[in-house]
Copies of this chain bind each other. A is one copy, B any other.
Amino acid sequence: MFKVLFEDGDARVGELTLRSGVVKTPFFMPVSTKGSVKNLSPEQLRETGIECVIANSFVLSLRPGSELIKSHGGIHKFMNWDGGVFTDSGGFQAGSKDFLEEITDDGIVFKNPYTGKKELLSPEDAVRIQEEIGSDVAMVLDDMPSPLWPKKKIEVSVERTHAWAKRSIAAKKDNKQLLFGISQGGTHKDLRERSAKTINSLGFDGLGIGGLAIGETKKNMFAALDATLPFYDKDRVRYMMGLGSPLDIVDAVSRGVDCFDSVLPTKSARRGTIFTFGGVVHYKNNKYSKDFAPLEEGCDCYTCKNYTKAYFVHLLRVHENLGLTLATIHNLRFMQRLIEKIRDSIKQKKLFEFRDEFKKNYK
């Protein structure tokens, strides 16, 4: 299901075969947490070149319910999106302070915000929910530690993550859905190594790296990544969860990561922050209100081809949602253009030149 086609150092270009079609790697997925990439129609999303999105199975299980999506014919029909759909298990959300009651060996006990009741999300539940939702790729439920916890506590979470990973594989029924494992370990190299080896050994379709890009230093993040990747088989797809910073993506690809997701480009767009190859530009002021240039010279996105900075600033100032749509389109097209440049550089064995050039210009 995963094929490496080109390599440049540890970086690779490949193809991941999902039941909905083939996706080129490396790729970046925007989030469609509640079943929609905020402010975009599927056609607008498709036009950015994005091939895959990631929805949140925990959030969707609360509303509208995974059974409803199943009886609707699955998430693709529900959302009217024929591209790839990953689902996160919800370990990240259910374990957040908005929902969490406690984590036990059974699973995550959370408070349902709609009923007020305590409920258990077990690893088996997470598999069942994602099979009902019908995503292309399901992620196992993991016990994600804070990197700030004492090492002893992180070690407990790592062992629990491994136990849950095994239970998830045992619970899997849908052979057309891929199931990815997730390793943990905070920023401890020995725990990361142990977790990578264990997750790698369990036969998952793809290999996730969890618990990073959540506030630790860049140095510690890349050290944890470097402690993980040598123990992940090269012939399986590697997914670093939650990474959306353009600079970090380039660095992670150069280490051998294939797949990313983050709220960053879409959330930034909603705050008037625009990604360009010269760095990010903030539009929450009037500096560009008389500027008739596109958001980024040379960009081929719908927004840049058809609108000016002046119109964009106007839409933001008068609170027209079209402004959010135009910003989201641009930022996702930026991510996709970055990914396309990364892929081309790998094919030409020039990723490291590209990385240096990109870093020099991106402020």
Contact = CB atoms under 8 A, between A and B. Distances in A.
Nearest to A79: B311
Counting chain A residues whose Cβ lies within 8 A of the other chain, the interface size class is: 20 to 34
A350 to B, nearest CB: 37
A163 to B, nearest CB: 33
B322 A64 contact: no
Given A68-B290, A80-B306, A307-B80, A314 B38 contact: no
Interface string A286-321: 000110100000000000001110110111011011
A323 to B, nearest CB: 8
Contacts of A322: 36, 38-41
Contacts of A79: 311
A310 B64 contact: yes
Given A289-B64, A307-B80, A318 B72 contact: no
Nearest to A73: B292
Contacts of A138: none
A36 to B, nearest CB: 4
A72 B41 contact: no
A63 B35 CA distance: 35
Contacts of A63: 314, 317-318
A127 interface: no
A268 interface: no
Interface in A56-80: 63-64, 68, 71-72, 78-80
A44 interface: yes
Contacts of A158: none
A34 interface: yes
A7 to B, nearest CB: 39
A321 to B, nearest CB: 5
